[in-house]
């Protein structure tokens, strides 16, 4: 799930102040060359190869669909057909093949060796994660100021925030202050 996690987090929409410093928003995939470099660092494409503009646009559409999917609660992901359909459309262009992995059975793997095949590794991870249950642990922070994707390692799998001490505390403090304000006004 590492490539899927990194791919979803290549868009950083955090916009909060932490210790007096405004977090800068950033997009690691600002153009096709940046996508090529991102892929090369993860050994999904040859170093120095720049994906085509069509591949770049397809990658951005995939990232958007993945982020929209991960923003939903795992139970809602299976129910909301519009989210599933959008993710299906975004994944449809990526070449995959079924491969045998010994005693573990079958898995999806990228087919080919171009940039589209490299991005297929992300799609294959999503499928394989759905098959083994780990995709339900990949979530988006519930904080409107954050929206960072995180892997929920809590035993019951019910975490809502990427960091309880940062996003969770900020949310709980805001809720507490709003409740106090309402009580004072009443």
Residue 168 has a pLDDT of 72
pLDDT at 161: 86
Q: What is residue 7's predicted lDDT score, i.e. its pLDDT? A: 96
**How long is the chain?**
186
Tens digits of per-residue pLDDT, 15-51? Answer: 877 777 877 889 999 999 999 999 999 999 888 899 9
Rounded-to-integer distance, Cα 168 and Cα 163, Å: 6
Given this model, what pLDDT does residue 140 score?
95
Mean predicted lDDT score pLDDT of the chain: 89
- Quick check: 6 and 150 in contact, CB under 8 A? no
Rounded to two decimals, the pTM is: 0.85
Give the pLDDT of residue 28. 95
- Residues of the chain predicted below pLDDT 70: 104
User: How many C-beta neighbours within 10 Å does residue 59 have?
Assistant: 25
Q: E strands within 65-137?
A: 96-100, 106-110
């Amino acid at each position: 799930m590492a490539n899927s996690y990194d791919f979803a987090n290549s868009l950083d929409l955090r916009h909060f102040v932490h210790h007096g410093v405004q977090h800068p928003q950033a997009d690691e995939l600002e153009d096709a060359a940046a996508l090529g470099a991102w892929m090369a660092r993860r050994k999904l494409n040859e170093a120095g190869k720049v994906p085509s503009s069509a591949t770049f646009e397809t990658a951005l559409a995939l990232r958007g669909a993945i982020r929209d999917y991960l923003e939903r609660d795992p139970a809602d992901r299976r129910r909301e057909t519009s989210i599933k359909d959008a993710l299906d459309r975004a994944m449809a262009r990526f070449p995959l093949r079924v491969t045998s992995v010994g005693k573990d059975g079958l898995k999806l793997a990228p087919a080919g060796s171009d940039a589209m095949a490299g991005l297929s590794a992300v799609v294959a991870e999503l499928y394989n994660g759905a098959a083994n249950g780990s995709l339900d642990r990949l979530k988006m922070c519930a904080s409107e100021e954050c929206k960072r994707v995180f892997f929920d390692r809590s035993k019951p799998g019910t975490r809502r925030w990427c960091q309880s001490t940062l996003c969770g505390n900020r949310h709980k403090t805001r809720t507490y202050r709003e409740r106090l304000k309402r009580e004072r006004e009443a």
